[in-house]
Homo-oligomer: A and B are copies of this chain.
Amino acid sequence: MEKFKVKFYPDNKAIEVKNDTTILSAAISCGVYINSVCGGDGVCGKCKVIVRNGTVITQPNGAISLEEKRQHIYLACLTTIHSDAEIEVLPESRLDFEKLSTQEFYTKSEEIEPAAPSLKEGVFAHSPLATKEYLELPPPSLEDNISDLERLYRQLGRLHKDYTATQMGLANIKQLGELLRDSDWKVTATLGKRNETTEIVLLESGNTSAKNFGMCFDIGTTTISGQLVDLKNKKVLGTKAVYNKQASFGSDVITRIIYANEEDGLEKLHNAVTDTMNEMIKELITEHKIDLNNVTCVLCTGNTTMVHLLLSVDPTFIRREPYVPTANFVPTIRAAEAGININPRGLLSCVPGVSSYVGGDTTSGILSCGLYKEEELGILIDIGTNGEIALGNKDFLVACAASAGPAFEGSGVTCGVRASRGAIQKVKISSGDFKVTYNTIGDAKPRGICGSGYIDLIAGMLSVGLIDKSGKLKAESSKRVRDSSENGREFVVAFKDETETGSDIVITEADIENLKRAKAAIYSATAILVKHMNLDFSAINKIFIAGGFGTSVDIDSAVKIGLLPNLERSKFVFIGNSALAGTRQMLLSYEATRKADEIARKITYFELSVDPGYMDEYMAALFFPHTDIKRWAM
């Protein structure tokens, strides 16, 4: 079989592939992650590359302009390799760590702290997933000659009555005799919670108890957020939010599940998510000058498919009726077993999920916003690619899922970016001259538009009459509205002379359609869930809104476009990434972990698709704000 050598820039990674391999597949195989919203179907036009050298064969596609053709730009998914080749991934096609994670983003940990009054940290007792205990053991004597291991257990038992069911693995026992004597019987034990028992995960010489760090992750379909936490003093040292490298395999969970069934598909998806997480960990510990060995545990939340892929568990049955995952409650394992690089004996735990489409992220969100303990009724809306809505109070909890797509996370829309430095997050449009004023995160030159920016933008365009209720742009309204050969009809938000990228920042009719479908999915799911419980929105006391669309969403705008129902503004609470906040609580408190288990068991899953009214409700929501405009009257 003929093989060709393909080199990718700027990664400088090379691989040998068979004749007729697609560029996308070659890239994935050598760990170069190219954005591919559609999962390689040639539809999204996101996976652009320049072929510097080599023979390739491509299929005609509208996403490539004549100018791009002249520059040897191709879609990676539609182009196959027929000689040795050198390929450059265009900056906008890269699922690039550096590009997306910014130090400015979320540096103040308050920004992602849960904002709801009930979720102040400290509610749960401080007892992290892994703790370090410094121990000074009495050396053995002829009179006190119990074995080394029992000596260790005895000392732990003296310090903590609840350390009775303590275990230690063989690897540590093998080193025990020498370590204790070399350390003059002064050691630090790292104690990890493993389900019902306490495990001595590590033993170190001397007192290292000040150095104990953990990571919490929210593994979203599009975005992975992670925090490095000092487990001793509960401080968040740093936060990263980056695109999930699995985006190379398609933008939604269904595409990923299908890909997992291809040859080596599960392994590739697994590697993509662990690569993303490992890079985040490496960057965070480097920034904070922390030794990897002092990162002793990882706690992950995410939708059910993401957790399956993290653990290399086949997600096939999630999408086959009756939609049953392999596991909602997964055991705590060694992080190394899942390919996560922390201390080689460190632990990895996952927040329990509820069903195939309501995952641990809902559990941790509910923990974080306190829905589970309120007297009055509340709703949690977590807006993500896989949106989740929970309704309830201290007496009951019910949840459903809505496939919203990645638009609010800045993916799958022409100039969408994550809510990071340079993202347009707030927009005003003057009536009459349609002048656009905006502000960006970090007050930097604009790079694109994030979720909250899009919400403002569409609300503004509606207010000034640039678009109609169906989202169609009015042609003659402004010089900012134009017909582009590449994008169709579009509205220019920022002209290229004001932007960071040197290109115009636009919103297209297709983008508006995309965002409309996303908001319709979220709103209609919420409305059906409320109706399913024989309730009305007026019965709801609080609506907690979580998600990665920006640090501050304008409620009026969100109501105006019909993402949210028109209720008293004081009922809305934006809580940022509540899934991550809840996961951090669990990382820091075993009590919170047990509470999350309780929550996950308590939630009743409601399958939207079996509700006869759902499709009608969704179709009615495909307008700004809705066909049933009466609902938006106050």
Which residues of A pack against B, CB within 8 Å? Answer: 140-142, 145-151, 165, 167-170, 173-174, 176-178, 181, 195-197, 311-314, 316-317, 321-331, 333, 337-338, 355-356, 605, 607, 610
Q: Nearest chain-B residue to A338 (Cβ)?
A: B170
Give the residues in chain B near A605, CB-CB below 8 Å.
145
Query: Which residues of the other chain, B, contact A169 by a CB distance below 8 angstroms?
Result: 331, 333
CB < 8 Å: which of B148, B316, B329, B337 contacts A170?
B337
CA distance A583 to B435 in the complex (A): 86
CA distance A228 to B168 in the complex (A): 29
- Decide: A323 near B145, CB < 8 A? Known: A316-B177, A328-B150: yes
Question: How far, in whole Å, are A317 and B149 apart by their CA atoms in the complex?
Answer: 13
A231 to B574 alpha-carbon distance, docked (Å): 59
A328 and B167: CB pair below 8 A?
no
**Other-chain residue from B196, B314, B322 in contact with A141 (beta carbon distance below 8 A):** B322
Contact B177 A326 (CB under 8 A): yes
User: Looking at the complex, which one of B147, B173, B178, B325 makes contact with A147 (CB distance below 8 Å)?
Assistant: B325
Cβ-closest chain B residue relative to A148:
B326
Q: How far is the CA of A181 from the CA of B610 in the complex (A)?
A: 24
Q: Which residues of B contact A607 (CB under 8 A)?
A: 142
Known contacts A312-B174, A316-B177, A333-B170; is-contact A147 B321 (Cβ 8 Å): no
Beyond A140-B322, A170-B337, A197-B197, is A146–B328 a contact (Cβ under 8 Å)?
yes
A317 touches B197 (CB 8 A): no
A355 and B316 CA atoms in complex are apart in Å by 53
A196 to B198, CA, bound (A): 11
Across chains A and B, which 4 residue pairs bring their CB atoms closest together, nearest first? A149-B327, A177-B326, A140-B324, A147-B328
**Least CB separation from A167: chain B residue:** B331
Contact sample, A vs B, 8 pairs, CB 8 Å cutoff: A142-B321, A145-B605, A148-B325, A149-B327, A173-B326, A176-B326, A176-B327, A178-B314
B311 and A173: CB pair below 8 A?
Answer: yes
Contact A328 B149 (CB under 8 A): yes
- Minimum CB–CB distance for A244 against chain B, Å: 21
Q: A142-B607, A173-B311, A607-B142 are in contact. Are A149 and B326 (CB under 8 A)?
A: yes
Contact between A327 and B148 (Cβ–Cβ < 8 Å)?
Answer: yes
Cβ contacts under 8 Å, A314 to chain B: 174, 177-178
